[in-house]
């Protein structure tokens, strides 16, 4: 996406501010409508766990606004945190056994998160002169084989600085809730 964008900037600015409130709306919908069973949990929770793992891996390679992240998952995809979020949300929606939640999460991702990605990429282009070259080699959201060589190891201090443990805590709470709703965990 070199220079062209899918969403008007004004729209992207508005939905960027709506991400957190919409997250709460999605959480309420999830809590209200979830009707998991053992099979939906087996189908959805591994995908959700994979999403949280991708987010954790990415957070350990991301020094926000300091250096351009090109190691770890950033070798394959420019936005692994968003891919992890999408995977985790899809996994929880599948585990909740409600197709309407899947549709809701996809709609929010397309209408809210894609414009947010575009805004962030505009900021990164301005912040890092090498971003345009990096973006020409590495896809935005659908990973493919690495096109760049980058050294860099996972750093726990970045994971903590990026507060990614919150996603892990949210995942654990979601799993416990689904197990309770499915009647597997008697609290």
Average pLDDT in the 135-141 region? 89
Is 49 buried (19+), middle (13-18) or exposed (0-12) by CB count in 10 A? middle
Higher pLDDT, residue 73 or 20: 73
Find tokens 């926000």 and name the residue. Answer: 64
Residue 152 has pLDDT above 80, yes or no: no
Nearest 5°: the CA angle 105, 59, 162 is 95
Question: Average per-residue pLDDT in the chain?
Answer: 86
pTM: predicted TM-score of the whole model, two decimal places: 0.82
Q: Which fold has domain 9-181?
A: 1.20.120
Average pLDDT in the 50-57 region? 96
Higher pLDDT, residue 153 or 161: 161
Higher pLDDT, residue 38 or 20: 38
Residue boundaries of the structural domains of the chain:
9-181
């Amino acid at each position: 996406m070199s220079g062209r964008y899918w969403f008007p900037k004004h729209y992207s600015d508005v939905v960027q501010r709506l991400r957190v409130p919409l997250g709460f709306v999605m959480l309420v919908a999830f809590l209200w409508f979830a009707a998991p069973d053992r099979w939906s949990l087996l189908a959805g929770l591994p995908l959700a766990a994979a999403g949280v793992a991708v987010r954790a891996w990415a957070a350990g390679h991301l020094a926000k606004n300091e250096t351009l992240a090109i190691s770890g998952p950033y070798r394959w995809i420019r936005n692994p945190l968003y891919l992890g979020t999408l995977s985790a949300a899809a996994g929880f929606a599948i585990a909740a056994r409600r197709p309407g939640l899947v549709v809701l999460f996809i709609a929010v991702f397309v209408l809210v998160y894609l414009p947010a990605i575009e805004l962030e990429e505009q900021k990164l282009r301005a912040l890092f002169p090498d971003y345009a070259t990096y973006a020409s080699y590495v896809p935005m959201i659908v990973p493919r084989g690495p096109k760049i060589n980058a050294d860099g190891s996972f750093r726990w201090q970045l994971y903590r600085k990026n507060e990614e443990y919150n996603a892990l805590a949210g995942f654990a709470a979601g799993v416990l809730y689904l197990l309770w709703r499915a009647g597997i965990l008697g609290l």
